[in-house]
A and B are shown apart, each in its own frame.
Chain A
Amino acid sequence: MRIEYNFAFFDEGSKREIRRATLKAVAIPGYQVPFASREMPIARGWGTGGLQLTLSLVGKEDILKVIDQGSDESVNAVNIKKLITKTTGIKVTDETSEATIIQSRHRIPEIPLQAGQILVLQVPLPEPLRYYEPSELETKKLHAEQEYSGAWLMLFEQIMNYGTMSTGADHPAMVHDRYVMAPSPIPRFDNPKLNHSQALILLGAGREKKVYAVPPYTRVESLAFEDFSFEVEGFKNKYCGLCGAKEVFLDEMLDDLTGETFYQCNDTSYCLQRLNQKSAG
């Protein structure tokens, strides 16, 4: 027996509720809006927040791209794509510029996002002060009073222990000079892309039941000290072993036979696009 689902899986009431939370998030950049996170056919912690945002926003004309740590073809990305296309019938793409909604786990695509596009990021821990203050009530107060010494203190601790800010990902950022936000575990390399982004950026945490947003052209500043400025991961003199791209986020790989280290674009569709251009030209 074939089960018939609503368009985009949810009933209309659910979609409306999530869209209402999303609107509030857009109206208050960086503020974590609580929402009634639904049970989804994928496990919590596997992108349910992002998936719910995507399903609440998707329309028949939309074109969807889903990436998981830069890859369009990973199991998680493929499963999410399947669920959305089966319940909506919309077109999917690997090309960043063609997509209207891009759901991503832990990366912002290399190709700059355009006005009218929506980037949906999956967030495991939306609270940037969680490791400083375990109580939800207290962190709410800290946000309300704009008291972010905890976020700075955690960076100070890293500098004391390791000599540098050691956030590999999820480096906290100040949004619109008001709220400090956890930008989901995107690498530091992607943090500058949040600043004055032309696309709307939505962040959804299904397990933690929070939605927040960076509206287009919003100021997003990564936290840093006067004498320890924010720096992205450096890939100086390194390039992609396949397409030759420089100044992109690269994965470090090890050649099994020679034992040599080489690098490859993390954003697979970007790499493929460059390879196609090369072979065509």
Chain B
Amino acid sequence: MIKFEQPVLSINNLNKQFGKGCPSCKGSNEDSLKKNYCPVCGTVYACQNIMFEVYAGEILGVVGESGSGKSTLMQCLYFDQEVSSGEAYISSYKDGKTDVFAESSQQKRYIRNHMMGKVYQNPLLGLRINFTSIGNIAEKLIAAGNRHVGKMEARGKELLEHVNIPIYRMKEAPKNFSGGMQQRVQIAKALSNNPPLLLLDEVTTGLDLSVQASVLDLIKTIQRELQITVVIVSHDLGVIRMLADRTMVMLDGRIIEQGLTDQILEDPQHGYTQHLVQSLL
């Protein structure tokens, strides 16, 4: 009998809307909406019927234009936003049999602190910009229950070294760092608890090309070494081509196409994806 591997993260019918909706947009087909926006009541349907699975050691890329719902999806996955409906299962939490979206906020915080890491596009959201760099890493370790300063300091140094931040700058606040260094501190922080799942939200946007390359190299190296499962959001197809094993294309809050990255980039089926790939070339 064939045994199927359990996905690290499984998302089922995730919906997120901003606004209450009205009779003209509730239950109506997508054509009555202007893109994912109801012109009558102003409700935005940011994510609609999102379904996907990510397996151990895999990198899943999410691409799409600005406003397609990529970042909202990431916020929902990291519990920064409450989903409107949908289910999520994480294999390391209660054997992957409990819907984590239905858990209490305390449990969600526990999951976030123990089983996930996230790197934000804006370092201000992911870091305590006035605290020391090592303190930023320790924050995640403390939240996971560590109470030994020596061990936390050692782990922080190890991670900072890993992301090429000089140890002699560990007591400096990230506000004194360049954008690339801030992103690297964020990566170190996200990795501090060895999370099985890493969420990367536009990590290279706003960085110059050489720094982008170094951050991407770093992510790839760490992912290979630690065999972490990664979901990476980007509107840059170059980033997706370099990192992702599989890719999902989002448009107006929906997944319009998904498959192996090479397949999506070489043989796009959906008109929007074709347009997107063409723009790249």
Contact = CB atoms under 8 A, between A and B. Distances in A.
Interface of A: 132, 141, 145-147, 149-150, 152-153, 156-157, 159-161, 225-228
B132 A225 contact: no
B152 A156 contact: yes
Given A145-B109, A149-B139, A156-B142, A161 B132 contact: yes
Contact of A226 (B106, B132, B139, B147): B147
Interface of A is mostly: helix
Interface string B112-150: 000000000000000010011011001100110001111
A160 B132 contact: yes
18 contacts: A145-B105, A145-B106, A145-B109, A147-B106, A150-B139, A153-B128, A153-B139, A153-B142, A156-B135, A156-B138, A156-B152, A157-B135, A159-B149, A160-B132, A226-B147, A226-B148, A226-B149, A227-B150
A227 B148 CA distance: 6
A225 B147 CA distance: 5
Interface of B: 105-106, 109, 128, 131-132, 134-135, 138-139, 142-143, 147-150, 152-153, 171
Contacts of B134: 160
Nearest to A152: B142
A160 B132 CA distance: 8
B105 A141 contact: yes
Contacts of B142: 149, 152-153, 156
A240 B106 CA distance: 50
Given A149-B142, A149-B143, A153-B139, A160 B109 contact: no
Contact of A161 (B105, B139, B149, B171): B171
A156 B134 CA distance: 10
A157 B128 CA distance: 12
B147 A152 contact: yes
Contacts of A227: 148-150
A160 B106 contact: no
| Max chain B C-beta neighbours (<10 A), residue from A146, A150, A153 | A153
A161 B153 CA distance: 12
Nearest to B152: A156
Contacts of A141: 105
Given A153-B131, A156-B135, A147 B147 contact: no
5 pairs of A and B residues whose beta carbons are closest in the complex? A149-B143, A149-B142, A145-B106, A226-B148, A152-B142
B149 A156 contact: yes
Contacts of B147: 152, 225-226
B70 to A, nearest CB: 26
Contact of B149 (A145, A146, A147, A225): A225
Given A160-B132, A161-B132, A227-B148, A153 B171 contact: no
B86 to A, nearest CB: 23
A157 B105 contact: no
A228 B149 contact: yes
Contacts of B148: 225-227
Contacts of A157: 131-132, 135
Nearest to A153: B139
Contacts of A156: 135, 138, 142, 149, 152
A20 to B, nearest CB: 28
Nearest to A224: B147
Contacts of B149: 156, 159, 225-228
B143 A160 contact: no
B24 to A, nearest CB: 34
A92 to B, nearest CB: 45
Contacts of A146: 106
Contacts of A149: 139, 142-143
Given A159-B149, A161-B171, A147 B109 contact: yes
Given A145-B109, A160-B134, A225-B148, 18 more contacts: A132-B128, A145-B105, A145-B106, A147-B109, A147-B143, A150-B139, A152-B142, A153-B135, A153-B142, A156-B138, A156-B152, A157-B132, A160-B132, A161-B171, A226-B147, A226-B148, A226-B149, A227-B150
